[in-house]
Amino acid sequence: MPGPLHGVRIVEMCVAVTGPLAVMLLVDQGAEAIKVEEPGFGDQGRFAGVVSGGISALFQMCNRGKRSVAMDCTDPRGVEVVLDLCAEADVFAQNMRPGVIERLGLSYAEVSARNPDIVYASISGFGPDGPYAHRRVYDSVIQAQSGLVGNQTGPNDESPRFLRQAAADKVTAYTAAQAITAALFVRERGAGGQHLQLSMLDASVGFLFADAAAHEVALDNEQRHLAQSFSAHQRAIAFADGHAVVAALTDSEFHGMAKAFGVDSSDPRLATMADRQRHREQTSMVFRMVHAAAAAMPLAEAMETLDRHEVPFGVVLGVEDLATDAQAVHNQIFEEHDHPAMGRVRQPRPAARFSATPAELHRPSSPIHGQHTDEVLAELGWGHRIDELRADGVIK
């Protein structure tokens, strides 16, 4: 049974993380994607970070299941090929700086003239216009400018702290995938194609404000002594042989945690959540006693007693430990296969499970640069011009 987006065709002119990951999420759900790359260098994401067999782990995770066409779109023939692809596509996705795609002759006006029903997705750093729109952008730039770094930095940190991953890129990618799906949905209801514009700045600020900018949301609040985020003070508990986080929020969880560690929480000032918020020093004392008791307790013992008292907890795992974790194994999160260039690859399957239209990794490998150029051109009726285009350097 094909995935829920089976039959959706996407033409992608995206590089790095944001656009490629957004399209990959749709491919995981059954869409077909043709990735148009420059001849020679191609998507710089191919070379970012850990590389095996000429393909990076990043590129694999953002481009699995796609077909790659190496095409010079500064040549009018390359542009015509892309327009032919778009004529039969449902989605065109690009994440170039504002103005670049227009100079190539592949603007929304030009693509929609060929296919009025297309969903044209433009992803940018700061937006299509404005004082910063012209700037080159990577994840760290938006992490800084969107408030993510400021939110991550604590009062005792000597310098600003970045999230140790491409958080702004990924948040934007997931936002873009949802927005593209929404545009396809409304098109099915008769609204036709449209131009969808999304900036990394907008997506990242929206992500931040969901839970981490409380004072900027509730402008008239009288609790300015509290942190912007209710999660700001989370920290792991050190046990004899590892770390875990214990999230005791409700009354039963708080008192269950105290019992699990042999700590007395019978003080009436600790009875309810409202009481504990009013008496923060007494509440903090309980947590300090919990941390002290945990230091000599093995993780296995702590897991058993916390489970028994129905207290939420999670062991702090290294990334290298995830594949063998009991729940991950049970959920069958990871799949392995042999990539023709990279060798052995382990990657998570699509997270959402559909009962009637399952999302599966039908093509688990990312493409080699230009791997499908001839194949796609032949499908478009350009097969008789392949030698000409290759001789002129228009295709790889």
Cα–Cα distance for residue pair 104/108, rounded to 1 Å: 12
> For residue 93, what are the β-bridge partners?
12, 121
Burial class (CB in 10 A: 0-12, 13-18, 19+), 345: buried
Q: What DSSP state is assigned to residue 368? A: P
Query: Alpha-carbon distance 216 to 218, whole Å?
Result: 6
Residue pLDDT, tens place only, 254-276: 999 999 999 999 999 999 999 99
User: Quick one: pLDDT at residue 153?
Assistant: 87
Handedness of CA 48, 53, 59, 61 (dihedral sign): negative
pLDDT in tens, 184-232: 999 999 999 999 999 999 999 999 998 888 777 778 887 887 777 777 7
CA-closest candidate to residue 294, choices 357, 220, 239, 355 = 239
Residue 1 pLDDT exceeds 70: no
| Residue 182 near residue 159, CB atoms below 8 Å | no
Residue 102 CA, distance from chain mean position: 27
Going by C-alpha positions, the residue among 42, 38, 40, 36 that lies closest to residue 13 is 36
CB 202 within 8 A of CB 127: yes
Q: What is the mean pLDDT of residues 49-61?
A: 95
pLDDT at 339: 97
Selection from 93, 124, 121, 97 nearest residue 20 by Cα: 93
pLDDT band at 75 (very low <50, low <70, confident <90, very high): very high
CB 369, CB 70: distance < 8 Å = yes
**Cα gap 197→172, rounded to integer Å:** 11
Q: Give me the mean pLDDT over the 308-318 stretch.
A: 96
Q: Would strands 313-315 and 242-246 be described as parallel, antiparallel, or unpaired?
A: antiparallel
Asked if residue 233 has pLDDT above 80, the reply is: no
Q: How much is the pTM?
A: 0.93
What local confidence, expressed as pLDDT, does residue 360 receive? 85
